[in-house]
A and B are shown apart, each in its own frame.
Chain A
Amino acid sequence: MQGFIAVYLRELLILKYRFKRQLAGMAISPLLYLITFGYAMGDVIRFGGHSYLEFLIPGLVAMGSMTQAFAIATDINVARFYWNIFEEFQAAPISNLSYVAGEVLAGMTRALLAIVVILLLSLPFGVVLHYGPMFWLAVLLNCFVFASLAVALAMLVKSHADQSLLTNFIITPMAFLGGTFFPVEKLPEWAQTLLSFLPLTHASHAIRASSLGQPVQLVDYLVLVVAGAVFFWLALHSVNRARD
């Protein structure tokens, strides 16, 4: 337990020292999306009786929670390849579970902070959504899925450049195709089937349905739970691979 706290506390301390920079970083993309896609086109496009802004904000929450949770991979890799701080954890008498759980929770914490920033930024746009328990459950599961994936991949890559490559090939396409900016239902059947394999598609569904007051589909939550469990297991079993 102490090992888990130590790993998590270290990440929180770093977050504390970088807090202003982190907040600015978390705010800039959603703000640009809100202004360009939402504000400029908000009245032109409507989906299912909702303005584009109402459609967009849950998508931004899904995307933001994914990218910020996944960003823990970059921090782990900087600690591993640049500062060599990862050695401090490797040489400590802590279990792989303590290490992975600490880093995953740190990724989730950062992602939740980013969600709060997005929701605060959306306030001046006059959009009122429902942020009930099912909304927060979907957000938490999405954060868990991508923080776990981040830790697993951070253990498997052999260099910082590999990590950037993975972000470009996994996270960026998912951010645009996972139902964040447009409804997946508008795509052809084959594309919908393909995109249903992406965890973010289910996260966008669940977050959007719950925030717009629509009935949620439990299968979306189930997919996130299963994906999160698989990635967490992968992370646990990848820690030893990081020993050269």
Chain B
Amino acid sequence: MIRIENLQKSYAATKALDGIDLSVAAGELFAFLGPNGAGKTTTIRILTGLTRLGSGRALLNGHDIESDGIAAKRQCGLVPQHINLDSELTVLENLDIHGRLFGMEPARRRQKIEELLAYVELADRTRSLVKQLSGGLKRRLMIARALMHEPRILFLDEPTVGLDAAIRRRIWALVKRVQQDGTTIFLTTHYIEEAEFLAGRVAFIDQGRIVAIDQPHNLMARLGHWAIDQVNGEGMQTRYFPTREEATRFSAGQDCGFTLRRVNLEDAFLALTGKKVL
């Protein structure tokens, strides 16, 4: 469904992408996890035609993004990191223009707009100007817009950045629903819990290179399942244990404060790159 081979991109002397190779299967929910500036957004921008490819090759449903760009664009929908709706137009007009850009017939556009606004729970805001919507509603509208032309692949670039926890959970539920309806989802995030909750597979990206790709529980299991954070004279130290019992046994002999918790993707990322995601 998505195949990327040796993708490279440089800006002046800076290498934004340094040989990305990966493939994402149909119907998969794949997450790119990494700190700011790791190359997540650059990858999505290249795949969706917003940024020129440096070198390498990328195929979306078999269509090369460079030599067969128009067909490749028909395969995908994009929800960028920043709000890029036409704030002076209404909700309906934003969706209608998008449908026209993708060559949808009028009857299909009308039907799809009605269906999607109900899907993202914005049916009562059809005639509202976008500038009157809250940040969370705008995000939902952007997802609806990206789904308007029924793409087989949906790119979500930091879809919940800047949103509060409650709205973030609603967006996650929506993303899960979209995937369950058969859409392949390629998501970038620097929120650990977002990747853990949503993704079937996660790629860790750092300095333009993929350092690991696997299912979240496999990435975490490389360290163990339980962690103990201890603060001592050398700062905070974390130890990993395969079972809770072993972690508890270890902690019983400690005379300083500690926290027992489950291993998360942040631990796995830190162990592989030596740095935190956030």
Contacts and interface: CB of A to CB of B under 8 A. Distances in A.
A243 B51 contact: yes
A93 B60 CA distance: 13
A51 interface: no
B87 A92 contact: no
Interface stretch (A29-37, A60-68, A79-87, A121-129): A79-87
B48 A91 contact: yes
Given A13-B93, A243-B49, A93 B100 contact: no
B89 A13 contact: yes
Contacts of A2: 100-101, 103-104
B167 to A, nearest CB: 21
B101 A87 contact: no
Interface residues of B, number: 29
Interface string B81-104: 011111111000100011011111
Interface bracket on A? 20 to 34
Contacts, number: 76
A27 to B, nearest CB: 22
Contact of B52 (A7, A91, A93, A243): A243
A134 interface: no
Name the residue in A7, A92, A243, A244 with the highest tally of chain B Cβ atoms < 10 Å from its Cβ: A92
B211 interface: no
Interface in A1-40: 2-3, 5-7, 9-10, 13-14, 17-18
B80 interface: yes
A89 interface: yes
B89 A10 contact: yes
Interface in B34-67: 45, 48-52
Contacts of B168: none
Main secondary structure of the interface of B (DSSP, over half): loop
Contact of A6 (B52, B70, B100): B100
Nearest to B78: A91
B73 A92 contact: yes
Contacts of A3: 100-101, 103
Name the residue in B89, B97, B104 with the highest tally of chain A Cβ atoms < 10 Å from its Cβ: B97
Contacts of A17: 88-89
Nearest to B45: A244
A85 B102 contact: no
Nearest to A2: B103
Nearest to B9: A244
A18 B129 CA distance: 13
Interface of A: 2-3, 5-7, 9-10, 13-14, 17-18, 83-85, 87-95, 240, 243-244
Given A14-B89, A17-B89, A87-B84, 7 more contacts: A6-B100, A88-B97, A90-B49, A91-B73, A93-B70, A93-B73, A243-B49
